[in-house]
């Protein structure tokens, strides 16, 4: 298939990627063993068999279990380097990755250990391949605003390594406005802001992310399509949507890849991008996401090119950095 070959060859960016969601079962078992931590599953096969989700929470329960074997700086380095090596082979030239500090702080893994391991891998990828990156600290929305503020305090010595903040985990019942003040504090520190919104949550949550929080981009945004005024607002503000096709399928945000809304988003002039979210859990990395769209939707070459271009212009690279890839 020519389109698949072309999509593999295109230089791409990844703007929606949880580093803890790149934890492949084999690596998870290897790190569990070297750290002498027990996993709930006794084989790689048994673990993979559990990757059948009917909603976001089903997945999150496994995601937090999986990351619980990460203890040392080396673990965070190895996890991040494995991901970067994989996407370098897929012609991904720039990544903006999330990490979930609270998912590790709760297990007494310090902020320093986490960020030092992740950041060193990002630096090595820059050195070895010229791959550029941004690091986004994400707050867990099922936890309190106070916990988010405590996390921000721990991040203060590392602000030179952190480009932005995000909001992830269980969306329903945890609207963006719950974190209004912490995001205001982040902005005052010069951080970029994004938030998961409209994955499972209603259009109202996307409105809050835009109007109350003032996000620089929207992660997912699928359910924004239910509200015509919201569509207009996203168009007018030229906000990028970091869409995750295989994630949407695995978490039943869409019933069938044939019905994925990404081509409709493009037809509406929305700046949709393709991203892998949690590739180790959702059945594929960047190129698999493109391949699935090509195989199941009527997407054409111009649309594929537009998606990749949106990934460059919607990134947090400077215009000068972007122009290298355009
Ligand atoms: C996530 Cl797909 C998704 N949605 C919300 N929070 C997350 N954390 C990791 N993956
Ligand atoms: Zn996500």
Domain 2-316 is classified in which CATH homologous superfamily? Answer: Metal-dependent hydrolases (3.20.20.140)
Residue 288 assigned as binding residue: no
Of ligand 1's listed atoms, the one at least distance from the Cα of 100 is 8
- Ligand 1 environment, Cβ below 6 A: 18, 21, 56, 63, 168-169, 196, 199, 247, 277-278
Mean pLDDT of 296-325: 98
* Residue 1 alpha carbon to ligand 1 centre in Å: 31
To test the ligand 1 pocket, which listed residue (223, 246, 277) has its Cβ within 8 A of the most ligand atoms? 277
What would the 3-class secondary structure string for 144-204 be? CHHHHHHHHHHHHHHHHHCCEEEEECCCCCCCHHHHHHHHHHHHHCCCEEEEEECCCCCHH
For 22-36, what is each residue's pLDDT tens digit? Answer: 999 999 999 999 999
> Helices 180-188 and 145-155 meet at what angle, rounded to 10?
20
> Helices 73-88 and 111-129 meet at what angle, rounded to 10?
30
Amino acid 277: pLDDT: 99
Q: CB 66: neighbour CB atoms within 10 A?
A: 23
To test the ligand 1 pocket, which listed residue (175, 278, 281) has its Cβ within 8 A of the most ligand atoms? 278
Residue 48 DSSP SS3: helix
Residue 232 DSSP SS3: helix
* Residue 138 alpha carbon to ligand 2 centre in Å: 10
Amino acid 3: pLDDT: 98
Amino acid 315: pLDDT: 99
Alpha-helix runs per DSSP H in 13-72 = 25-35, 44-49, 56-67
Amino acid 246: pLDDT: 99
Q: Report the alpha-carbon distance of residue 271 to residue 264 in Å, rounded.
A: 11
Amino acid 325: pLDDT: 98
pTM for this entry: 0.99
Amino acid 268: pLDDT: 98
Residue 88 assigned as binding residue: no
Amino acid 213: pLDDT: 99
Amino acid 204: pLDDT: 99
For 254-292, what is each residue's pLDDT tens digit? Answer: 999 999 999 999 999 999 999 999 999 999 999 999 999
Amino acid 20: pLDDT: 99
- Confidence bin at 50 (pLDDT 50/70/90): very high
For 70-95, what is each residue's pLDDT tens digit? Answer: 999 999 999 999 999 999 999 999 99
- Of all residues in the chain, what percent carry a pLDDT higher than 90? 100
Check if 199 is active-site. yes
Residue 243 DSSP SS3: strand
From 14, 96, 171, 199, active-site residue: 199
**Mean of the per-residue pLDDT values of the chain:** 99
Q: Which residues pair with 168 in a beta bridge?
A: 140
Q: Report the alpha-carbon distance of residue 22 to residue 83 in Å, rounded.
A: 6
Cα-Cα end-to-end distance for the chain: 25
For 118-131, what is each residue's pLDDT tens digit? Answer: 999 999 999 999 99
Of ligand 1's listed atoms, the one at least distance from the Cα of 20 is 9
């Amino acid at each position: 298939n020519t389109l698949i070959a072309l999509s593999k060859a295109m230089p791409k960016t990844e703007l929606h990627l949880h580093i803890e969601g790149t934890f492949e079962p084999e690596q998870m078992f290897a790190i569990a063993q070297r750290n002498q931590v027990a996993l709930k599953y006794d084989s790689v096969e048994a673990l993979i068999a559990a990757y059948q989700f009917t909603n976001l929470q089903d997945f999150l329960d496994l995601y937090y279990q999986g990351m619980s074997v990460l203890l040392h700086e080396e673990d965070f380095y190895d996890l991040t380097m494995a991901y970067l090596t994989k996407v370098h082979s897929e012609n991904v030239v720039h990544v903006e990755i999330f990490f979930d500090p609270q998912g590790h702080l709760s297990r007494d893994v310090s902020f320093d250990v986490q960020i030092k391991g992740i950041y060193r891998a990002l630096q090595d990828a820059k050195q070895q391949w010229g791959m550029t990156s941004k690091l986004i600290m994400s707050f867990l929305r099922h936890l309190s605003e106070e916990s988010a503020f405590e996390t921000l305090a721990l991040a203060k010595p590392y602000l030179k390594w952190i480009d932005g903040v995000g909001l992830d985990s269980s969306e329903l019942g945890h609207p963006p406005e719950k974190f209004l003040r912490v995001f205001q504090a982040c902005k005052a520190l010069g951080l970029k802001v994004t938030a998961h919104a409209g994955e499972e949550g209603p259009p109202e949550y996307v409105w809050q992310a835009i109007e109350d929080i003032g996000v620089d981009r929207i992660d997912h945004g699928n359910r924004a399509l239910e509200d015509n005024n919201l569509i207009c607002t996203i168009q007018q503000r030229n906000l990028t949507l970091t869409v995750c096709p295989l994630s949407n399928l695995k978490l039943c945000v869409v019933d069938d890849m044939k019905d994925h809304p990404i081509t409709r988003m493009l037809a509406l002039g929305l700046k949709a991008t393709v991203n892998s979210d949690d590739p180790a859990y959702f059945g594929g990395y960047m190129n698999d996401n493109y391949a699935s769209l090509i195989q199941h939707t009527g997407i054409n070459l111009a649309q594929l090119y537009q998606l990749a271009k949106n990934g460059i212009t919607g990134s947090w690279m400077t215009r000068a950095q972007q122009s290298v890839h355009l």
